[in-house]
A and B are shown apart, each in its own frame.
Chain A
Amino acid sequence: MTDVSIAASDTLPPRRRHGIDLSQPIMLAAAALLVVLIVLPIAWIVAYAFLDKSGALTLGNFAKLFTDPSFLDPLIATATIATSVGCLCCLIAAPMGWLVARSDMPARNLVRTLVMASFVTPPFLGAIAWELLAAPNSGLLNQAWRGLTGASADEHIFNIYSLGGVVFVITCYTFPYVFVLVANALDRIPGELEDASAMLGATSATTARRITIPMVLPAIIAGALIAFLQALNLFGSPAILAIPAGFHTLTTKIWSLFQFPPKPELAAAAALPLLVLTVVLLRAQKAVLGRRSYAVVGGKYGAPRPVPLGAFRWVALAGCLFMLLMPVFLPYAALLNAAFSKIPTRLVTWDTLSWQNVYFTFFELSQTGHVLKNTFLLGALSATLGTLLALIIAYLVARQSVRGHKILGFLATAPIAMPGIVLGVGLFLAYTRPPLVLYGTLWILLIAYITIELPAAYQQLQSAFHAVHPELEEASRILGATRLRSLRDITAPLLRTGVIATWCFIFVAVVRELSAAVILFTSDTKVLSVLIFDLKESGDLGAIAVLGLSMLALTTIVIALANSIPGRGGDIRLRENG
Chain B
Amino acid sequence: MTLDPTYRLGGAAGWRAIRGGDALASVELKSLTKRYGTAAAVDAVSLEIAHGQLVCLLGPSGCGKTTTLRLIAGFIEPTEGEIIVGGRVVSSPKRTEPPERRNMSMIFQSYALWPHMTVAENVGYGLSIRKLASHVIADKVKAILGVARLEHLAARYPGELSGGQQQRVSLARALVVEPETLLMDEPLSNLDANLREEMRFEIRRLHDAFKTTTVYVTHDQSEAMTTADLIAVMNGGRIEQLGTPEAIYDRPVSEFVARFIGASNVITGTALDASHVQVAGVALATTGRVLTAGVKVPVSIRQHDVTLETTAPPAGATNRIKAVVKRQVFLGASRDYLVALDDGSEIRLSTAAGQNVATGSAVWLHLPPERCLALER
Contacts and interface: CB of A to CB of B under 8 A. Distances in A.
20 contacts: A1-B92, A8-B86, A8-B87, A13-B103, A15-B100, A15-B130, A18-B98, A18-B100, A474-B73, A474-B108, A475-B112, A476-B125, A480-B130, A482-B98, A485-B129, A489-B125, A490-B114, A494-B116, A569-B117, A575-B110
Contact of B106 (A475, A489, A490): A475
B361 interface: no
Interface in B148-192: 157-160, 163, 173, 177, 183, 186, 189-190
Contacts of B113: 475
Interface string B290-321: 00000000000000000000000000000000
Contact of B115 (A4, A9, A21, A494): A494
Interface in B91-106: 92, 95, 97-106
B44 interface: no
Given A5-B88, A15-B130, A577-B190, A478 B104 contact: yes
Contacts of B126: 479-480
A518 B104 CA distance: 58
A522 B110 CA distance: 56
A568 B99 CA distance: 28
Interface residues of A, number: 42
Contacts of A574: 110-112, 115
Interface of B: 20, 23, 73, 75, 86-89, 92, 95, 97-106, 108-117, 125-126, 129-131, 157-160, 163, 173, 177, 183, 186, 189-190
The 5 nearest A-B residue pairs measured at CB: A570-B159, A479-B126, A475-B112, A471-B112, A571-B159
Interface in A492-520: 493-494
A199 interface: no
B190 A578 contact: yes
B99 A477 contact: yes
Nearest to B95: A1
Given A14-B130, A469-B112, A490-B114, A8 B88 contact: yes
A252 B371 CA distance: 89
A500 to B, nearest CB: 14
Given A5-B89, A11-B86, A477 B75 contact: yes
B87 A481 contact: no
A578 B61 CA distance: 13
Nearest to A7: B88
A481 B125 CA distance: 9
A21 B77 CA distance: 15
A353 interface: no
Given A5-B97, A478-B99, 12 more contacts: A8-B86, A472-B114, A475-B106, A475-B113, A480-B101, A483-B98, A569-B159, A570-B160, A571-B159, A574-B112, A575-B110, A577-B186
A351 interface: no
Contacts of B104: 478
Contacts of A489: 125
B129 A478 contact: no
Contacts of A482: 98, 100
A478 B105 contact: yes
A154 interface: no
A329 B219 CA distance: 63
From A474, A482, A568, A573, residue with most partner B Cβ within 10 Å: A474
A9 B189 CA distance: 35
Contacts of B173: 475, 479
Contacts of B102: 478
A567 to B, nearest CB: 9
A68 interface: no
A489 B104 CA distance: 19
B89 A1 contact: yes
A297 interface: no
Contacts of A568: 116
A572 interface: yes
A474 B131 contact: no
Contacts of A578: 189-190
A12 interface: yes
Contact of B105 (A472, A479, A573): A479
B79 to A, nearest CB: 15
